[in-house]
Chains A and B, each alone.
Chain A
Amino acid sequence: MSHSGEIVCNDIGKVFSTGKVALSSVDLTIPANGIFALIGRNGAGKTTLTRILSTLLEPTTGKATIDGLDVMADAKELRERMSVVPQEGRTVQWMTPIQSVSSYLLWRGMSYRDSRIKAEETLAKVGLGNIQNKLNRTLSGGMKRKVLVAMVIASDAEFIFLDEPSTGLDPISRQELWHLMTDLSRDRFIFLTTHYLEEAEMVADRIGILDDGKLLALGSLDELRQKIKHQYSLKVPKGVDLPAVEGKVLARKDGQLQIMTTQEEALRLSRILIERKSQFSLTPINLDDIFSDVVGGVPMNGDGVDG
């Protein structure tokens, strides 16, 4: 068995018994290190691909391997090395954090004594040491999520799948989770799905954009920027007299005009706006802009555009 150190999907397709096509011929090759974020709108197929890779769901077509191991044929071997926090995963309400983590470790084959020690260590590491004996149902949403993440951290699994782990979390809990993931990714591979683009931008080494079951783009944030024609975003308040521009002009919901354009055009416009003493901001495009461009619709985040 050769260990490729990669996650490979060849022509992965999934059609459910209802006839719904969830994935269409997904091809993907990424190194199994760092953090890979799969982004897409609700129903894009993120969870389906995650479930196939984490040996929870059979694909209809194609083959997927992790470090050279087939997710179908070598599932038993892979399950020794992977750990999953499913979408909408919840802590069991009648258990405490330490009971949750140690039980999961028992399922992974650790002894009772070792599982308790490891659970205690891990909960302290993620900042839940002081509430390890409280019932899960009394914890905040952020703490419950952290308990689930503590379960996979404690497992020492090499490949960790986190399906929308930050959904519903407040900004502070979300940032704490990002720190945990970044810390974790130093020696493990994290496959993350999210529809928070700033999350992917903040933590991911590589990003995949999935829409309607198809993988539309793949690469680091810089690589994705390179693939886009308009790499700069210039924002001006509405009402500013603009010269003729070469690029895409969007009216944002916050009342500003956004011009997505090339570097040269952005510089030309900047000079004109400076001469006119107009307010403006110029930034490289962010993931929201890339997503919008690739998917061909409105950006996913709340400060979207009207047209």
Chain B
Amino acid sequence: MMRRTGRQLLASIMVNAIYEMKNYPVVLLNTVLAPLSFLTLIWFVSHGTLLGPAIIGGLIMTMFSAGTSLQADLSHLKNDFKLQDMVVSSPTSASTYVLGIAISELIYNLPAILILSILFYLFVPVTILQLTGIVIVMIFVFITSVSLGFALATLSSDIVQSFAFTRLLTTLFSTLAPVYYPITYIPLPYRYLAYLSPTTYAAQIAQNLSGALVSSTNELVIDWVVLICLTSVFLWIGISKSRWREK
């Protein structure tokens, strides 16, 4: 049974990541471009002082956009190729299919994750404990965006709409939100808007763990609680709104 599920996961990964990367290598460059562009910009503008937060920001953006890309990819495979119909009527379950596509998004973004991880290793000195905390934060960001992407995929009926959703979510949650720099750089009245984004809490925790932002224990606890709650809510929305067999 486990072996069979593994094969079904492999199918989603091959279709949505490996074959595309193999047959269209230019996409490898594409995934690296956005996070590294922002990182470079922040690095230059801050004269190097915000390199650490910018690397963490690049990782958050990559994890978040990996999840939101799932929305466009699921919609593309479902509405344009009708491939999802072929999968629904096969022995593959909804959860296996979505998990496979979610893993494929991570693999698709592997070049960016690898480069950012190397930069992180070189320029952000952390202990094993702090590193573990940051990895957990990244997993939460990914789960949140995957859930959001999955719920939206069931609502959007064409690819133009789906790509618009992806761009909108990525801009709102990983470019406008303070993930590349500490929230203290945002003037106070606008700072409250930033708290609407789940990535703000993720960035605050990661920046705190890396020493780029000093937060009180209370603030840190609140950040964790809000991040866990938001991830749970998005996960619930994703599971409850998704449809495998249509009604």
Contact = CB atoms under 8 A, between A and B. Distances in A.
Contacts of A65: none
A106 B100 CA distance: 12
Contacts, number: 102
A82 interface: yes
B185 interface: no
Contacts of A196: none
Interface residues of A, number: 39
A238 to B, nearest CB: 45
A92 B77 contact: yes
Interface residues of B, number: 29
A57 B245 contact: yes
Given A57-B246, A109-B8, A83 B89 contact: yes
B10 interface: yes
A155 B89 CA distance: 12
B81 A90 contact: yes
B90 A56 contact: no
B8 A85 contact: no
A107 B93 CA distance: 9
B139 interface: no
B89 A54 contact: yes
Interface stretch (B16-24, B50-58, B124-132, B196-204): B16-24
Contact of A90 (B23, B82, B89, B247): B82
B156 interface: no
Given A58-B247, A94-B23, A107-B92, A84 B85 contact: yes
A86 interface: yes
B147 to A, nearest CB: 23
B90 A58 contact: no
A135 B91 CA distance: 27
Interface string A104-122: 1011111110000000000
B23 A95 contact: yes
A4 to B, nearest CB: 20
Interface in B54-97: 77, 80-83, 85-92, 97
A106 B246 contact: no
Q: Closest 9 A-B residue pairs measured CB to CB?
A: A106-B11, A86-B85, A89-B82, A86-B82, A107-B11, A84-B89, A109-B4, A94-B20, A107-B92
Interface of B: 4, 7-8, 10-12, 14-15, 19-20, 23-24, 77, 80-83, 85-92, 97, 245-247
12 contacts: A17-B247, A55-B88, A55-B245, A58-B247, A89-B82, A92-B19, A92-B77, A99-B14, A104-B90, A106-B14, A107-B90, A108-B92
Given A58-B247, A76-B91, A92-B83, 17 more contacts: A51-B85, A56-B85, A56-B88, A56-B245, A58-B245, A58-B246, A75-B245, A88-B82, A89-B81, A90-B81, A90-B82, A91-B81, A92-B15, A92-B77, A106-B10, A107-B86, A135-B23
